Structure formats: structure tokens, C-alpha cells
A and B are shown apart, each in its own frame.
Chain A
Amino acid sequence: MQVAVASGKGGTGKTTVAVNLAHVLAEEGPIQLLDCDVEEPNAHLFLHPTQHEVREVNIRVPAVNRARCTGCGKCVEACAFHAIAVLGEKALVFPELCHGCGSCVRVCPTGALHEEPRRLGIVSRGSAGRIDFVQGKIDVGAALAVPVVKAVKRAAWAGDVILDAPPGTSCPVVATIARCDYVLLVTEPTPFGLNDLKLAIELVREMKIPHGVVLNRAGIGTDDVQEYCYRERIPILLRIPFDRHFAETIAHGRLIVQEFPDWRIEFRHLWERVRRGGRG
């Protein structure tokens, strides 16, 4: 099954949950971890994977054959992103704005447009112990994260997969959690955690994906997140206490389940609850 670890708020502990869960599951069988936070991937800092292969992610953007272009403007009408304009009587392409949909090429009546690849980033694949590790990374200056996220997801195998999502509730998150079997929403018991949890809940409900909460830094702040979850009947599947030793472990780039072996059962139990649909 495919389980995404997501969060409306940044810095709640998505990667902490994803890497510890993956590490524990790898003791029992094959598991794959996809780092879909392509703008700032960091799961590798915990897992130190080897790198077997690197692939470029490209979209196809139009290029103009000026001899054939009549300046009719059909391509301009077809483009939803103003990435092509007819100026100086010929079509002019603005590649940074192009989403690579290909509409302009299809509507061009004179065949004046063809597509050329434009690089957006890379997907690398390797392994960390028994974890099959895939990471996407967007190039500096590229604005489109979604095609890179999708390229990471194309590397997913048929077995169990954990997806480390980017923070927030926008397009790259939607692309990450789409078609997942379950979403673990990591939050913290603060007004900020609650506010952004509500946004994330709205998203997973809209997308009709089963979901549950991991409450990180439990013990600080207020009871509002917990009360909200009770009221909304959202299961809290794991509580990670606010503990100096955990903070130090993470600050040193180490895994909770390695430093505190008792916690292996907690993460294994978390997976078991997710597998059972995460209710109750």
C-alpha cells in the first residue's frame, strides 16, 4: 500500500515520521521511501542512501518555426498560462511559464510549433540498507514542482511505499497524496499546528483519502488539536512526546528507532493501524 506522510504546517516532523517508519518496516521486509519534497528533500540526511541512478525530469515546451508561423494566435488562445504570445507578427514562447501541456502544438494550423525538452530537475534512486530510496530534486530557477513529484511517483514499486510529502496543501502536496491509500497527517499541539491541520484535513476529505493524525511534540502547547480530532472523529495514531532526548537525536540526524529501540514497536504499531484503515 502507498502511505503519504503530510502536514499543513512545515517543520512538524513529517520526515522524522517517514524515515523512522521506513527503517522499522525494513527490518521485516522490502519497503520503499519516496522523498516527494522536491524543493527541499532531506530524508537522505537521516538515511544516507547510496545512489544507483539519476534521471532528468523534463517537460516539453514549444519552439517556433518562424518561417511557418502566420501569427494567427490560435496558440495564444489555447494557452492557459500566457506562455506564448503573438508579438511582432510571430509567436514568441516564454518557456519558464510553460506547463508542457502541448495544447499550442496541437492547435497550430501550420505546424509551426514543435516541442523541445526543458529540464526541471532530477530523480535519483538508491538504497539505504533494505530501504529502496527515491528522491526528487527541482532545479534552482525551475518553478514547476508537480512534474518532478510525478516523476518520483513513477518510480514507485507495487509493494509498500511511504511518501514523504512537501509541507502545505498546494499542488505539489496534491500530486504527492493523489491515489495514496492513506495519509498520515503530522501536527503539533499548538495554534499553528491546529490551524494548518484543519487545512490539511479539508484537503484529504476533498480528495476522499483515509487519514489519521500523528501528534508530534505532544505535551507542549494546548489540548486543542486533540479536542479537534475527537470532535471530528479523526484518529490520533501515534503521539511522540516533546522530549529533549528526541530533539537531540533528530538534531544530530539520527533515528529515534535506533537510539530508542523501544520505539520500534510504536512505529510498527502505527503501520499496523494504518494497514487496518486507521480507525479507532
Chain B
Amino acid sequence: MKIAITAQGPTLDSALDPRFGRCQYLILADTLTSDWTAIPNPVLGEPGGAGIAMAQRLAQEKVEALITGNIGPNAARALSASGIPVYIAGGGTARQALADFREGRLAAASGPTVTAHSGM
């Protein structure tokens, strides 16, 4: 399964980025093969709607789950419409978050965890 993890740097050993729309990097990882690629956030400098644009990107990448720290109302609605569940990680590295996800230790968010623009 292809998942996305928000990270503060471009590798699996970078710290998890608690922001979704305004994360520094998006790491796309395969849970079976552990292959991964990092892409810099294409909408980091946008004045608004970053969470929505990121959700759109995840849908295009056919990502099946997202791991991040917090999720705002617009992004939550956008991800829910694309059927991408959001798993909340408390911190650590992207690698740890991936391992925790595989072990079933991360809880899925049922809705937004923060208000709009919290990551700005």
C-alpha cells in the first residue's frame, strides 16, 4: 500500500512534520517494499488552500493513507472525499511513524484535529 508521511526533511530519517498543508516534504512510501521517495511541498508558499491542494496531490498520487501530526477542517474534508484516511503520529521520525503504522499503533483521525490555518 502506498502511504504519505509529512516530514521536515527529505529522508525517511527526517522528523515528522506536524503540519499537513504546510509540511516541508511529503514522503511517499510503500508499506510492503519500504521503497520511498520524498517530494518538496509544491504548495508551501501558497497564500491559502494548501491543505486542499495537498489532498488533491495525494489523490493524484493514489495514496491510500496519510500520516501526519495535525489536520485542519478543509484538508480533512478534502481527504475524506477522496477516501484517504488520516493517521495521527505524535512525533519522532518519518521512519518511526511508518513502523508504528505497520504495527497498527497509530489511530485514525475521525475529523479535523486543529482549526484552519494552524500550520501557517
Q: Name A's B-contacting residues (CB within 8 A).
A: 76, 81-83, 85-88, 90, 92, 94, 96-97
Does B65 count as interface, using CB distance less than 8 angstroms?
Answer: no
Query: Which listed residue (A87, A88, A90, A97) contacts B49, Cβ 8 A?
Result: A97
A77 to chain B, nearest CB (A): 11
B90 partner residues in chain A, CB cutoff 8 A: none
Does B77 count as interface, using CB distance less than 8 angstroms?
Answer: yes
A-B pair count, CB < 8 Å, reads 48
Map CB proximity to A onto B27-52 as digits: 1 under 8 Å, 0 otherwise.
Answer: 00000000000000001001111101
Known contacts A82-B43, A82-B53, A94-B74; is A88 also within 8 Å of B48 by CB? no
Stretch among B6-14, B78-86, B102-110 lining the A interface: B78-86
Q: Name B's A-contacting residues (CB within 8 A).
A: 43, 46-50, 52-53, 55-56, 59, 74, 77-79, 81-83, 116
Residue ID in chain A nearest B51 by CB atoms: A82
The dominant DSSP class at the A interface is: mixed
Query: Which listed residue (A81, A82, A83, A92) contacts B77, Cβ 8 A?
Result: A92
The dominant DSSP class at the B interface is: helix
B86 to chain A, nearest CB (A): 14
B34 to chain A, nearest CB (A): 28
Q: Contact at A87–B81, with CB atoms within 8 Å?
A: yes
Q: Contact at A88–B83, with CB atoms within 8 Å?
A: yes
Known: A82-B49, A85-B55, A87-B81. 16 other contacts (CB 8 A): A76-B56, A82-B43, A82-B46, A82-B48, A82-B50, A82-B52, A85-B53, A85-B56, A85-B78, A87-B56, A90-B81, A92-B81, A94-B49, A94-B52, A94-B74, A97-B74
CB<8 Å pairs between A and B, sample of 16: A81-B48, A82-B46, A82-B49, A82-B53, A82-B56, A83-B49, A86-B56, A86-B59, A87-B82, A88-B82, A90-B81, A94-B52, A94-B74, A94-B77, A94-B78, A96-B116
